[in-house]
Structure 1
Amino acid sequence: MPTPKPIAGSILASLTFPQLGGGTLTVGGTRENWTLLVVYRGKHCGRCKKYLNILNGMRDEWANAGFDIAVVSADPVEKAAADQAEFGWAFDIGYDLDEQQMAQLGVFMSDPLSSGETDRRFAEPGVFVIRPDGSLVIAAISNGPSARPELAELLDGMIFTKQSDRPARGTA
């Protein structure tokens, strides 16, 4: 049975993940800033690394626009830490995204094609923009690694949305 997809404008209940470097990473619920949440496939995905490298280069632009960045995958700590160390990503990284959390976000799930890919079910890409009140403005969900929002265009649109106090679209 397909996982229900999130509804724009609805409140995303808090989700908590273990965070690289210790502690926890929480998204959803009430926050001081807007949040950009990126769900990535994991260490096995070259396209994810390319996307996250672009995001890492845009950290200051997103921060200056009032956004916190959170990135999460189903990878275990060892794989997430290896990627962070290799690429120097400086945003908050969560790991061990579980299937219940994937379902709550409405992301597609895939089984590995081989043990060389990964050893567990993983989330396909999702990009979410969440207002400080916890409501979803953007829920861009893909069933594969090749389709994701272009980050500069997304940022430009979210700056406009914030400045113009635009409502979430696609609510019906």
Structure 2
Amino acid sequence: MTAPFPHLLPRQSVPDLRVPIVGGRSYDIRKDAPATFSLIVFHRGLHCPICRTQLKDLEAKLGDFERRGVSVVAISTDNEERALQTGLDWQLPHLRIGYGLPLQVARQWGLYISRGRGSTSIGINEPDLFSEPAIYLVRPDGTLYFGSVQTMPFARPHFADILGAIDYVVKHDYPARGEADVTFESAGAN
């Protein structure tokens, strides 16, 4: 029997997250100090053409997030060489690109892990193991506000929608939802 799959609850503290950033810096969620949110975008890595499209869109919207007080980082399990190539090949000069996410930490964040299956449609080999995509908004106090975790690379949330949601949330002081941690003792429980 496998261990229960971890899930994060809104309004609860998120796990630690420390990774190196391309360019010699590092990212530590406990030291990140955004005015409104930290936006953490976990991506599959260099081999993923959908990640390329997603992160190029994110790069184009960085100023929009920064004007809203949101700090942004994109993180993968890729090694430093692949992360550096991601930034260069995908033309992401301003996006903070984190790398070397340990698989154990990925699981603590509730990410799904896939096994590599050879070369992708863009001719780049998948790593032996890597995490699937997820997007999180974390409040400055380190609690989860929003999470979207995926098992597949397809049908990801759009950053324009997230920007609109942030505007609404801030304007209306909208609370985090999904915080109820309930268990159901019988199949007939409502």
Deviations 1:52-111 (A, max 9, x none): 001110011010011000110000011110110122211111101111110111011101
Question: What's the counterpart of residue 135 of structure 1?
Answer: 143
Q: Is the 8 A contact 1:16 1:27 kept in 2?
A: yes
Tell me whether 1:23 sits opposite 2:25 in the alignment. Answer: yes
- Match of residue 92, structure 1, among 69, 92, 96: 96
* Deviation (angstroms), 1:163: 2.3
What TM-score, normalized to structure 1?
A: 0.93
**What is the CA deviation profile of residues 113-165 of structure 1, one whole-angstrom value per residue up to 9, with x for unaligned ones?**
12653233111000000111111111100001002111101111012112222
The 5 A counterparts of 1:1-172 are 1=2, 2-28=4-30, 31-33=33-35, 34-89=37-92, 90-114=94-118, 117-172=125-180
Task: Work out the percentage of aligned pairs sharing the same amino acid.
Answer: 28
Alpha-carbon contact 1:125-1:144 (below 8 Å) kept: yes
SS state at 1:157 partner: helix
Amino acid at match of 1:10: Q
TM-score norm. by structure 2 comes to 0.85
- Give 1:166 deviation, angstroms: 1.4
Question: Partner amino acid for 1:152?
Answer: A
Structure 1 runs (4+) greater than 4 angstroms displaced: none
How many angstroms does 1:29 deviate by? Answer: 6.5
SS of the residue corresponding to residue 60 of structure 1 reads helix
Kindly name which structure, 1 or 2, has the bigger radius of gyration based on alpha carbons: 2
Using the alignment, how far apart are the partners of 1:71 and 1:167 within structure 2? 25
- Structure 1: stretches of 5+ with no match in the other structure: none
Query: Unaligned stretches of 5+ in structure 2?
Result: 181-190
Question: Could you say what the CA RMSD is over the residues aligned between the two structures, in angstroms?
Answer: 1.6
Aligned residues: 172
